[in-house]
Amino acid sequence: MADPVKGLMDSITNDDPETRGQQLWVMFALAMFLVATLNWYAYIREPEVIQVEQLLEYKNEIVKLEGELISWVEDPYSSGDDRVDAIIDDGTGVVEARWYRPGSMPPIGTTVTVMGDVIEYDGRIWIQSLGAGAFEWSASDLPEVEVLAIADVAMDPAAYAGQVIQLSGFLGESVSPDATFTSAYLGDHPNYGNSEHQMHLIIRSSTGQWIEATSKVEVQGILSYQQRDLRWSLQVQGPEILVDRAHMIHIPQLDWSAEATWSYQSGQTVEMAGLLRTGDEDWTLVGPNNRAICVIPSDLDRALEANTTMDNTLQTVQGRLLWSATTSSWCIDANEGAERRLVDPQTPMNLMAMLSANPIGLVEDPDATYTLSAYIKYAIEPSVEDEEGYLVDMAAYMPGWTTVAATFPGPSTAWLESGQNIIANVSVMWDDEDMRIRLVVHDYTLGVVPSSRGLLWDDGATQWSYARDQNVLLDGEAVNEDGAWRLYQPGSNQSIALSPQGQAIGIDELHSDQSMTWSGRLRQMESPDGMSIMYTLDQADALDSDGDGLGDTLEESLGYSSTSEDSNDDGVSDRDDYEASQA
């Protein structure tokens, strides 16, 4: 092979007198050909699969690396780069992979194969990749995810260290759509203060959407112990957070007199009431003692203002609470809110918002009526006369719960339940006798009746007093003593009076001598001698969720379904099946 090549070179350089002696040019051309060939070979050859601990030996070379994806951030510096920074762990070490013009990312915990150039600069080393083919994985590489409750992790977090787990809960703070790193908490109760357990979250990469505080979410990530902060954290990815849109979030009401606490709601959607002052550019909301906060209307609000002026009217506004660097003050921004509207004239006014905005003005105009949304504080019994009661701004007790006295018109035929929503037309008056504002309810519409409250025997009489007149659930065995029924705590002599409703199934032969869950209204009354307080479970019956005539507890013990009237789909109800088996 060498002789023909040599002959070709000699003919090129020596036969023609004009090119004789020009061997240097031929050598240069041959060198360029060899370099191009080597580069082509380096490009098409299969890169070598190495481990993280070997990276320094392959600087500026194309390699492949296989490991577990433990974290990733899209556009880490929020500069608009089409880039993802991923962290890969192969057991021998951890390396960052900078992926430009990336494709879709797999879930955390996936085993991936990364191909890229090994870069070392200023003491740091990473893999630099380009294009959608740089990361590879298959369905068999996806992680096995264990679905847990936050309480499960709290009992033994070390048992799940390094594992991919899935949790559901409620976010403790709002998450910005463009934040690439967020520290938050996931609780097991929408009210942050009522959560029994809280899981710390490290959210990497932007979510692309606002996720409101108290939102119900499902997250998946790797549990790890943070030595610096001495706590367990779940590493999750923002785009992978699933939000339950059916869950109603709690929107906090800003208090005019507690401006120092507003920073706790920074970034959240909030409500506030006051006198709205509109203008061509700047809008403000004015409260008691001429306190003011800037509000930023949306285009819908400006269009509404152009048709029907809202200037100097009492309004409840809703938007995102943000700090304005321009005015060095707080602003409520409708354009950052979920509804894109600052003022919705169709929404009933919030009770506490109405009173906190302009209490003196409301009392001075007793003939004015307002439509408001509130909740019943204590259950109110049907009456033929006007009934005294209380309205609150939340369905259940929370810090900052505020109460206003109200007079309800009689006669009424149904109970007004504790925690039940009420939309009412009211007027405001000053009660000279009690020296307080009182609402006079003219007419109202009630919302869905809240679920029955579960009681425990060990809670005792003091705790039970908070549930008086409410629908409750209580486990016990019904016993007839001298013609009067009593409900006994299982395995104990402790009991309360039981007043079964007509045709109650809990006292028939099928349910005799059974400890069951009973449903009824807890009534508190004086003992016959007037020296103590006693409780009665009134209008009571065994809990029967599917209405088939068998109590839930009995069905579960028999292997029937408590949510289906015909568990085995044979066309015969569960009660008839059970009666036939007893014949």
DSSP letters along 208-226, please? SS-B-TT-EEEEEEEEEEE
Is a pLDDT exceeding 80 seen at residue 85? yes
Q: What is the pLDDT of residues 382-423, one digit of tens each?
A: 886 778 899 988 777 766 677 899 999 878 888 999 999 999
Distances 88 to 66, 124, 131, 298, 442 between C-alpha atoms, Å: 8, 15, 18, 44, 66
The pLDDT assigned to 366 comes to 80
Q: In sequence order, which ranges of 69-211 are alpha helices (DSSP H)?
A: 150-155
What distance in Å separates the CA atoms of residue 517 and residue 476, rounded to the nearest whole number? 6
Among 231-235, 365-369, 578-582, the range of highest mean pLDDT: 231-235
Domains 146-243 and 259-347 share a fold: yes
Is a pLDDT exceeding 80 seen at residue 88? yes
Average pLDDT over residues 260-287: 86
pLDDT band for position 15 (50/70/90)?
A: low
Is a pLDDT exceeding 80 seen at residue 347? no
> CB-hemisphere CA count at 13 Å for 110?
20
- What sign has the CA pseudo-torsion 340, 343, 348, 353? positive
Average pLDDT over residues 33-53: 66
Average pLDDT over residues 379-383: 88
Residues present in the chain in total: 583
The pLDDT assigned to 339 comes to 56
Is a pLDDT exceeding 60 seen at residue 20? no
Among 280, 329, 285, 270, residue whose Cα is nearest residue 306: 280
Distance from the first to the final alpha carbon of the chain = 104
What is the pTM (predicted TM-score) of this model?
Answer: 0.60
For 48-141, CATH gives 2.40.50.140
Is a pLDDT exceeding 80 seen at residue 41? no
Average pLDDT over residues 521-535: 82
Sequence spans of domains, the chain = 2-44, 48-141, 146-243, 259-347, 357-446, 454-543
Determine the residue type at 153. V
The pLDDT assigned to 293 comes to 92
Using an 8 Å Cβ cutoff, are 194 and 63 in contact? Answer: no
DSSP conformation class of 258: -
What distance in Å separates the CA atoms of residue 315 and residue 324, rounded to the nearest whole number? 22
What distance in Å separates the CA atoms of residue 256 and residue 265, rounded to the nearest whole number? 14
Under CATH, what is the fold of the domain 259-347? OB fold (Dihydrolipoamide Acetyltransferase, E2P) (2.40.50)
Q: In sequence order, which ranges of 435-543 are alpha helices (DSSP H)?
A: 460-464
pLDDT band for position 3 (50/70/90)?
A: low
Structural tokens at position 223: 């549990």
The architecture in CATH of the region 357-446 reads Beta Barrel (2.40)
The pLDDT assigned to 522 comes to 94
Query: Of 1-10, 237-246, 331-340, 487-496, which gets the smallest average pLDDT?
Result: 1-10
Average pLDDT over residues 81-99: 88
pLDDT band for position 470 (50/70/90)?
A: very high
Using an 8 Å Cβ cutoff, are 425 and 409 in contact? Answer: no
pLDDT band for position 538 (50/70/90)?
A: very high
Give the residue, 545 or 412, on which the prediction is more confident.
545
Give the residue, 139 or 338, on which the prediction is more confident.
139
What is the pLDDT of the chain when averaged over all its residues? Answer: 84
Give the residue, 40 or 114, on which the prediction is more confident.
114
pLDDT band for position 471 (50/70/90)?
A: very high
What distance in Å separates the CA atoms of residue 273 and residue 347, rounded to the nearest whole number? 13
Kindly report whether the peptide bond that precedes residue 399 is cis, defined as omega within 30 degrees of 0.
no
What distance in Å separates the CA atoms of residue 298 and residue 397, rounded to the nearest whole number? 33
- The domain made up of 146-243 is a member of CATH 2.60.40.420: no
Q: What angle do CA 186, 188, 190 make, to 5 degrees?
A: 85
Is a pLDDT exceeding 70 seen at residue 25? no
Query: Of 197-206, 459-468, 497-506, which gets the smallest average pLDDT?
Result: 459-468
What distance in Å separates the CA atoms of residue 355 and residue 376, rounded to the nearest whole number? 17
For 454-543, CATH gives 2.40.50
The pLDDT assigned to 37 comes to 60
